[in-house]
Amino acid sequence: MTEISFDTAIERDLQKRYRQPKGVEQFGIEAIPDARKTVRWYDLFAIILNFLVSPATILRGGLGVAAGLSFQASVTAECLGILVACVFYVIMATVGVDYGIPGQVATRAIYGLRGSKLIPSFLRSIASCYWFAFQTVIGATAICAVLQKLTGASYSLVWVSVLFGIAQALIAIVGYDSLKALSRVALPVKLAMFVYLFVLLANQADPNFAPGAVWSFTGKNGGWDWLIFVAWFNASAAGWLTMITDSADFCRYSRTRADMWIGTLSAAAIGTMISGSLGAYAAAATLGKTANPFVVIAGVSTSWITLFLILVFIVLDNWTINVLNLYTGGLSISNMFERLGRFWTTLIASAVGIALSAIPDVLNSYLTYATLLGNVFAPIAGVLVFDYLWLKRTRLDVPALFAPAGRYRYWGGFNLVAVAWTALGFLFYMFAVPPSWVPTLCTIGFTGIGYTLTVLALTARSPKMARGAAPAEILPAAAD
């Protein structure tokens, strides 16, 4: 009872400090008290699975087929990309489970108190707003197609996108509890509709929609063209890696590491498989001519019940996805501007995301944007994972994350080694790695190993570097 009262007092203090309304999540960059860590694996499973049972994951499967892959190759590329990226994701997710802090706050230990704001947090806030807009435009495109079928009238994609974005933002602003509740309700409905959509596609009169025809569709060059396969594997991995600094955000309410591992990894495997399969199936059934499965379904079905169910599915799908995008975007902005509470920073992220939703080009240039984000986040992932796992041995000095003159100040608030290797990794990705070498993985390895060796070489000469790089229990001599 005393512990619960103490937690309530903390929340009242945060509400007053940030002038946030009652009834919303008050914790932003602050560590979550142990008494609040009650989330089990199945809640995390629902959150992550809802995130992956999404328009982006579905469309990516369809786009892979449209680019020339077979059904099997497209699904394999997407699943492998997500699962490989998820290995790095769960490593950084332990920060949230162990310390109750957001991932962006944890990056202060690696990039420095100021460096974390200008590099991981700034870039992640951009990525969050872009992914929000991307998901919204995909959903709005399908909504327009369904509404046109139901009513016979045409609808403005821009206005539908903006209004849809506003509706999604309302839940994100409330916070983690609304996200958890929405995931519990939406997941069984979405899975049931997935089964229905697969059955609907498989039972069309057109022989190309038959499971056997889809399975035998070869695409270009036998359906397993290596360069195309790597491009979509890379796009899938790069998209997930943009969330590496957010993994702790989703898991900081988790009870144990086991809950995090089971919930996250199982959801990643299952969610990507079923979503990518639906998109690839629809695209293969149209012989690679139409990538968006919702457009395909709206075109082959004349039943208003089917169209209405698609509409419900799209709304639930986008809601569960974009709540996460705005939630993590808000925490990224909170790390940049510490005087603003989570409620206000999520509101800012929502406004930017909704504005971007009015630009349909975010959908047309998906591969370009996804690759560019991967160019940036692959070296960030390399620095973060290698530093946290091999240098700090997963042990952070949490009070120092909030201390202006603490061990993570490095040089004027910047870990110059991390900044330099992030820039080198970006250049390596852009100009040195052949597309056939899986650029995302090569860049993570190049950046992480180079950064680690440089830090080890400097620790003997620089007390600042030695203190900042060491595990929390091992404190080298005072900084110069």
Residues facing residue 254 across a β-bridge: 39
Q: Give every CB contact of residue 420 below 8 A, 6+ residues apart in sequence.
A: none
CATH code, 281: 1.10.4160.10
Per the CB < 8 A criterion, the answer to whether 275 and 61 are in contact is yes
Q: Assess if residue 402 is contained within a domain.
A: no
Residue 15 lies in a domain: no
Match 């199982």 to its residue by tokens.
266
C-alpha distances in angstroms, 135 versus 87, 140, 189, 325, 382? 24, 9, 19, 10, 27
Residue 276, both tokens: 């990518």
Residue type, 171: I
d(CA 99, CA 107): 13
CA distance 475 to 453: 20
Report how many domains make up the chain. 1
Query: Which pLDDT belongs to residue 363?
Result: 66
Q: Does residue 378 belong to any structural domain of this protein?
A: yes
Cβ atoms 57, 276 nearer than 8 A:
yes
Query: Is 130 among the domain residues?
Result: yes
pTM of the model as a whole: 0.85
What's the token pair of residue 10?
């903390």
30 in any annotated domain: no
The reported pLDDT for the residue numbered 431 is: 92
φ/ψ of residue 430, rounded to 5: -75, -40
Cα 443 to Cα 472: distance, rounded to the nearest angstrom = 28
Query: What is the pLDDT at residue 3?
Result: 46
Q: What is the pLDDT of residue 480?
A: 41
HSE of 270 in the Cβ direction (CA atoms, 13 Å)?
15
Q: Is residue 40 part of a domain?
A: yes
Write out the residue range of the structural domain in which residue 144 sits.
Answer: 36-383
Chain-centroid distance of CA 255 in Å reads 22
State CA 30 to chain mean position distance. 21
Q: What is the pLDDT of residue 478?
A: 41
For residue 419, being part of any structural domain is answered with no
Q: Alpha helices of 53-121 — where are they, by DSSP H?
A: 55-67, 71-99, 103-106, 108-111, 115-116
pLDDT at 82: 94
The per-residue pLDDT string of the chain (480 residues; one tens digit each, 9 = 90 and over) reads 444 444 577 788 878 887 888 877 777 788 888 888 888 999 899 889 988 887 778 888 999 999 999 999 999 999 999 999 999 999 999 999 999 999 999 999 999 999 999 999 998 898 888 888 888 887 888 788 888 877 888 888 889 989 888 888 877 777 767 777 778 888 888 888 889 889 989 999 899 999 999 999 988 878 899 999 998 998 899 878 888 988 898 899 899 999 999 999 999 999 999 999 999 999 999 999 988 887 887 777 767 777 788 788 878 877 888 888 888 899 999 999 988 888 899 899 989 999 988 887 776 666 677 667 768 889 999 999 999 999 999 999 999 999 999 999 999 999 999 999 999 999 999 999 998 888 999 999 999 999 999 999 999 899 999 999 999 875 444 444
Domain presence at residue 246:
yes
Q: How much is the CA Rg of the chain, to the nearest whole Å?
A: 23
